[in-house]
Amino acid sequence: MPHSHHHGTENLGDGKLLVAVVINVLLTVAQIIGGIISGSLSLIADALHNLSDAASLGIAIFARKISRKPADELKTFGYKRAEVIAALINLITLIIIGLYLIYEALWRLADPQEIAGWLVVIVASFALLVDVVTVLLTYAQSKNSMNIKAAFLHNVSDALASVAVVIAGTLILLYQWYWVDTLLTLLIAGYVLWQGFSMLPKAIHLLMDGTPEHINIPQVIAAMQALDGVTNVHHVHIWQVDEQHSALEAHVVVENIDVAELEKIKTTLKALLAREFRIGHTTLEFEHATLTNCNNAQVCH
């Protein structure tokens, strides 16, 4: 019963994501039409950002479905990293869009065009409403998923961008400051790039089997070596299987003890690693101190 409830909750989350995709696609179409009619580059810029949001959410849904597949002989750790791969794709796409927006904005500086302020304000106000709805739909799921968090942050930035576009349209109506539209396009592009480049290293770090950010390997070794019967811990490797699960493998040097005591040490070590460092999967290879090349300084080769 608990297992079914878990999948029911996840499917409900997928439904919310699908709604967010649909409304973002509709918003993108409306913004592009409004940007072309009004001549506003910032509206088109925001439309492209919304389109990337819709695409990222679509990829997120697909990746979540793949990630639920159970482990098999080909993927013995399971398919959880599918979501991280999706996040990497989304972030790279976001960076490309940001660079394209800068290119278009710089061309607009050389060839300024008249912009219909009222249409910009109306379309951007509608965009702000949609962005707020999307933020609310993705907020709860963004806490434990890099993929959904990226989409959530995209929509927060979209909401801010929509506010900026409304301000630009108002200034154009009042003072005919058409250059503000180009300036805001550059600001939106800069924010998009900042988001992309700030999250990209985290996705790459996980895919490269990097050590989890919350773990300090010397501290892990010190905690393990503090256990009675353990004289040395070496050849330590710690990595993330996915965003929620970490794994460790290590060589543990013990005193000349019997099998029952060895099993007790192993059980205690696994419980320690799970409790103190949130490492759920551990592989420990035990070595006897008298047969291992470890000196008194506890350095092993």
Residue 212: inside a domain: no
d(CA 26, CA 22): 6
Judge if 50 and 116 occupy the same domain. Answer: yes
Residue 73's domain is classified under what CATH number?
1.20.1510.10
Of 168, 188, 207, the position where a domain reaches its end is 207
Judge if 237 and 103 occupy the same domain. Answer: no
- Per DSSP, helices labelled H in 39-116 are 41-67, 82-110
For residue 255, CA distances in Å to 226, 252, 259, 287, 296 come to 13, 10, 11, 9, 13
Copy the structure tokens of residue 287: 């070595």
Judge if 6 and 87 occupy the same domain. Answer: yes
Domain count within the chain: 2
| Residue type at 64 in one-letter notation | R
Residue 257: inside a domain: yes
Judge if 197 and 235 occupy the same domain. Answer: no
| Residue type at 197 in one-letter notation | F
Judge if 155 and 263 occupy the same domain. Answer: no
Judge if 131 and 244 occupy the same domain. Answer: no
Judge if 128 and 93 occupy the same domain. Answer: yes
Q: One digit per residue, pLDDT tens: the chain, 301 residues?
A: 334 334 443 554 677 778 878 887 887 888 788 778 877 676 676 677 677 778 777 887 888 888 888 888 888 888 888 888 888 887 888 788 788 878 877 876 766 555 555 766 777 777 778 778 877 777 777 777 777 777 777 677 777 777 777 777 777 777 777 777 778 778 878 887 888 888 889 889 999 999 998 899 999 999 999 998 899 999 999 998 888 889 999 999 998 778 888 899 999 999 999 999 999 899 999 988 776 666 544 556 5
Residue 298: inside a domain: no
Specify the DSSP class assigned to residue 233: E
d(CA 142, CA 198): 16
97 in Cβ contact with 149 (< 8 Å): no
Q: How many CA atoms lie within 13 A of 218 on its CB side?
A: 0
Q: Which domain holds residue 243?
A: 217-291
Query: Which residues make Cβ contacts (< 8 Å) with residue 237, sequence separation at least 6?
Result: 248, 249, 250
- Number of other residues whose CB lies within 10 A of the CB of residue 47: 25
CA 227 to chain centre: 36
Specify the DSSP class assigned to residue 231: E
Query: Which residues make Cβ contacts (< 8 Å) with residue 87, sequence separation at least 6?
Result: 146, 147, 150, 199, 203
Of 160, 182, 207, the position where a domain reaches its end is 207
Of 170, 189, 207, the position where a domain reaches its end is 207
Copy the structure tokens of residue 69: 């597949």
Judge if 143 and 272 occupy the same domain. Answer: no
Residue 81: inside a domain: yes
Q: Which of 169, 131, 113 is nearest to 53 (CA)?
A: 131
Judge if 155 and 57 occupy the same domain. Answer: yes
Judge if 182 and 232 occupy the same domain. Answer: no
